[in-house]
Amino acid sequence: MSQRERIIERAAQMFAESGIKSIRMDDIARTLAVSKRTLYEMFADKEELLYLCIRHLQDRRSERAERIFEQYLDNIAGIFEVMQMMMNDADHVMPRLISNLRKFYPNVYTRISEEVKEESGRRLYCIIKHYAERGLISPHIDLRLAVAMLYYTTTTLAASMDNISLPASVNAKSALTYTIINSFRGMATIEGIRQIDAYFAERKERKAAQDHPEEKNVIDII
């Protein structure tokens, strides 16, 4: 790992742990035992370093998603495994970073948002195309339109959750999951729907076993 890569990785960790506003270039230089001059020779300013750090975190997230997807090349459930990972991440660092980015560094936020939108759309298109080639998505689907509408629906829904009246037993994450599941069921072939239903039936069974482990033990003994 080069010094530049080491600085980006450590600075990204510092931003994630302490927040964007509170970490100064002086803090980064001191933590990494490099001079401030060295930092500014490698990065024009904090905004450039911040951009590279967020990209680093986003790239690591994409790599994790790709590893998950590779385990489900012949099973449409891969979409939902990746979705689950993304939603688990949404409970942690990235949303706070993006929110602070929008507030304190709007130019970096705009740049990141546009890049992520383009990359997410391209990745989603490749995933849907892959499953269509496997006979799990209907060949009659207009893939580019499907990607555009799915991306628009999910991002709009996610951004509007505070203004949507949901049943008392349904949280925002469940509503978003419901929307995505039904979008893919609508695009899927009979085999694709069978895989989706089997995946969620298995998840429901696993959750029941975790919630009531004593019942599972009785079954195992019998």
Domains parsed from the chain with CATH numbers: 64-221 (1.10.357)
Predicted confidence at residue 4, as pLDDT, reads 96
Predicted confidence at residue 32, as pLDDT, reads 95
Q: How many Cα neighbours within 13 Å face the side chain of 63?
A: 6
Which letter, b or e, does each residue of 122-160 get, where b requires 16 or more Cβ atoms within 10 Å of its Cβ? ebbbebbebbbeeebbeeebebeebbeebeeebeeeeee
User: Global pTM?
Assistant: 0.83
Predicted confidence at residue 75, as pLDDT, reads 97
> What is the tens place of the pLDDT at every residue in 81-128?
998 888 777 556 787 888 899 999 999 999 999 998 899 899 999 999
Q: With a cut of 70, which residues of the chain have pLDDT below it?
A: 90-92, 161, 212-222
Predicted confidence at residue 105, as pLDDT, reads 96
Predicted confidence at residue 90, as pLDDT, reads 58
Return the axis-axis angle of helices 143-159 and 172-187, rounded to nearest 10°. Answer: 170
